[in-house]
Amino acid sequence: MPDLFVHYASGDILTSSTKRRNAALFTLGAILPDLLSRLPVNGFRLLFDWNTQVLFHPLHTPFGWTLATLLIAFLLPEHGRGRAFLLLWSGALLHQTLDLMQAPFYLSSYTPLFPFSLERYHWPLFYYNDSVLIAPVLVLILWFLARRRRAHSRVTSAQKNG
Ligand SMILES: [Zn+2]
């Protein structure tokens, strides 16, 4: 089920009542494993017909995305760096958990214990194409939350202006 939209929506919905900066970091973490692995693998495959799965797959494991979230956190200003790391890391953990709950098409491609084990795991709670069913519901929830945020910011700016 979890495609990039479902991962984005899960992060945005879970952080809808937090500060926008925190929500942005958590949501970035929620899509980060696919941005680091699926995006380059599919890009190289489409552009050059290269199979780079072995190269980028480790970035879709807790070991890989923990290193990536550490690197990203160190690129941010020193103040709040630890919190930024935790938000990115928590979002990536949500991503990994949702991916592991997906029934594999053939064999599971998730090796969450990499580099200590190449054992593949999954807990099949839903199918990969169930996102078609849940996406309209997520769109409605995101639309409702965006409306609520806009109304809240209008009230806040009206209070500031007098
Ligand atoms: Zn993924």
pLDDT at 129: 84
Average pLDDT, the chain: 91
Tokens of 106: 């053939």
Ligand 1 centroid, distance to 150 Cα (angstroms): 30
Helix axes 4-14, 131-161, angle to 10 degrees: 40
Ligand 1 centroid, distance to 32 Cα (angstroms): 8
Ligand 1 centroid, distance to 148 Cα (angstroms): 29
CB atoms within 10 A of CB 62: 16
- Residue 154, pLDDT > 90, answer no
Q: Report the percent of the chain where pLDDT is more than 90.
A: 65
- pLDDT (mean) for 115-141: 89
What pLDDT digit, counting tens, does each position of 41-57 carry? 999 999 999 999 999 99
Ligand 1 centroid, distance to 99 Cα (angstroms): 6
What pLDDT digit, counting tens, does each position of 72-101 carry? 999 999 999 999 999 999 999 999 999 999
Residue 137 phi, psi dihedral angles, 5° rounding:
-65, -45
User: What is the three-class DSSP state of 103?
Assistant: strand
Most confident stretch, 18-27, 118-127, 153-162: 18-27
Per-domain residue ranges for the chain?
A: 4-161
Ligand 1 centroid, distance to 98 Cα (angstroms): 8
Q: Report the percent of the chain where pLDDT is more than 70.
A: 99
Ligand 1 centroid, distance to 8 Cα (angstroms): 11
- pLDDT (mean) for 119-143: 89
Ligand 1 centroid, distance to 155 Cα (angstroms): 38
Ligand 1 centroid, distance to 123 Cα (angstroms): 14
Helices marked H in 49-130 — which ranges?
53-56, 62-75, 81-100
The count of C-alpha atoms lying within 13 angstroms of the C-alpha of 99, restricted to the half-sphere facing its C-beta, is 27
- Residue 1, pLDDT > 70, answer no
Ligand 1 centroid, distance to 87 Cα (angstroms): 17
Ligand 1 centroid, distance to 34 Cα (angstroms): 5
What pLDDT digit, counting tens, does each position of 14-32 carry? 998 888 888 999 999 999 9
pTM, to two decimals: 0.87
Ligand 1 centroid, distance to 35 Cα (angstroms): 8
pLDDT band, very low/low/confident/very high, at 36 (cuts 50, 70, 90): very high
